[in-house]
Every structure is written in structure tokens, then in C-alpha cells.
Amino acid sequence: MPSLQATLSALARGGKPRAPEGDPPDDSFLIIPNVTPFRPDPREGCPSCNAFQPLVLPANVTGQLDLTEELIRFSGGDPHRLEKARFLAATRERRIRMAVAAHADWVRRATAELPARLEAIGCDPRRSRAERRAILLPCVTR
């Protein structure tokens, strides 16, 4: 479907709006429809939260409509991308420190759990000795 800007530009030049290039794909046969920026993935989130569908109004608290933001959204863009990029740039170092701390915690936790996991695999009566050895041997040779 042509954008609003393309349609208005074509009309201003005295021409006809371009026809859409190809039909949109038919996703009526899909159990879970294709995800768009305007429709989140229904597989994410809680089922009880998805039952509530708030009415989205393109106006702020004072009742004003920002037409520029709506046109940017309509064309598939994000009107707040620059603010988001500035925020990510400003918090980069802090996010790196948090990721390093989380990774170190995961490594400490995995190291503490490793002996018990190896013992559980080595003493598992459901597996043959050859199977247990095949599972544990790559752990020992590293």
C-alpha cells in the first residue's frame, strides 16, 4: 500500500497514486499471524495480560495530536529513535558493567553446581557405563 506521503505527493503533482506493488501475503492460513511493528507477537507475554486490549489514542495527556510522530509511525519508523540511541550511548558503560557482573555470577553458580551435576551423571543407574563415560569424557578432556 502506498504511504500517505507518496499519495499526497502524487496528487499534488497532478498524477495518480501508484498502485501497490504486489498483493500483501495471505497469512489467513497461519495459526499465529505474522508479527508487525504494530501487532506484537502473541506468543510472548502472559495470556491474561493479552485479554486486555487498551484503546490506543494518538494523543498525549493534554489532548494534543502530534501529526509528525504519527506520520513517522505510519511509514514504519520510530519517532523516538534518536532519544533511544542517546540513552543507549549514555548508559553503555553501566550496561557493560552490569553484564560483566551477571556473567561472573553465572560462572560462579555453574562452577558451584558442576560437581553435583557430574556426580549425578556418573551415578545414573538408567545409563550404561559406556553412555556415562561418553557424556563425561568431553568434560574431563577440556
- Whether the full predicted model's pTM is greater than 0.75, yes or no, is no
DSSP 16-53: PPPPPSSPPP--TT-SSPPPBTTB--TTSS-HHHHT--
Q: For residue range 65-80, what is the model confidence (pLDDT) as tens digits?
A: 777 777 887 788 888 8
pLDDT at 93: 94
Residues 72 and 6 in one domain: yes
Task: Measure the CA angle with vertex 93, ends 91 and 97; round to 5°.
Answer: 115
- In a domain, residue 43? The reply is no
Tell me the residue range of the domain where 71 lies: 1-20+65-80
| Model confidence pLDDT, tens digit, residues 114-136 | 999 989 988 999 999 898 888 88
Indicate whether 99 and 73 sit together in one domain.
no
Does residue 26 sit within a domain?
A: no
Query: Is there a domain that residue 129 lies in?
Result: yes
Task: Give the HSE-up count for residue 67: Cα atoms under 13 Å, Cβ half-sphere.
Answer: 2
Do 129 and 101 belong to one domain? yes
- With respect to residue 113, please indicate whether it lies within any of the assigned structural domains: yes
Query: Phi and psi of 91, rounded to 5°?
Result: -105, 10
Domain count, the chain: 2
Q: Within this chain, do residues 137 and 98 fall inside the same structural domain, yes or no?
A: yes
| Residue 85 is assigned to a structural domain of this protein | no
The neighbouring-strand residues paired with 39 are 36
